[in-house]
Amino acid sequence: MSFWSSASNASAWRGYDYFKQGKVDSYEKVSDGIYKSHIEGSATEPYHTVINMDHPKRSHCDCPFAKDRRVICKHMVALCFTVFPDEVDAFMREVEESEKEAERQEQEHLKELEHYV
């Protein structure tokens, strides 16, 4: 399971947007699989964000969404994509596959409706 797949759909997409906008200026590797950064957000001060790639729910950020909660926020996703750019490709592949599957299901449903009509 990838780090970003632990996030909500909204957090994953917003994190992708933050990554594309370059809101993660720099990061530091704390230890194996753990990275930290200060990430621009809606507040005047950047958010302190730490991701744990081995245990995503142990990651934390002091943004209002994630503070004192075990959730993956957009800042964490942006940091993940910055540290591991190949994860962006994996994210986009999963989106494409999901869209293809939704289209396949819709076509199947339409065929079923035609059969009943």
Q: What is the pLDDT of residues 6-42, one digit of tens each?
A: 888 899 999 999 999 999 988 999 999 999 999 988 8
The answer to whether residues 88 and 81 touch, using CB atoms and an 8 Å cutoff, is yes
For residue 72, give its domain range: 4-84
Does residue 69 lie in a domain region? yes
Helices H, strands E: what count in the chain?
A: 3, 4
* pLDDT of res. 62: 93
Does residue 26 lie in a domain region? yes
Does residue 100 lie in a domain region? no
Does residue 34 lie in a domain region? yes
Q: Is 35 exposed, middle or buried (0-12, 13-18, 19+ CB in 10 A)?
A: buried
- Alpha-carbon span 77 to 72, nearest angstrom: 7
pLDDT in tens, 54-107: 999 999 999 999 988 889 999 999 999 999 998 898 888 887 777 677 777 888
* pLDDT of res. 53: 94
Q: Which two tokens stand for residue 94?
A: 């999963």
pTM score, two decimals? 0.80
β-bridge mates for residue 48, sequence order: 38
Does residue 79 lie in a domain region? yes
Does residue 60 lie in a domain region? yes
Domain count, the chain: 1
Does residue 64 lie in a domain region? yes
Does residue 72 lie in a domain region? yes
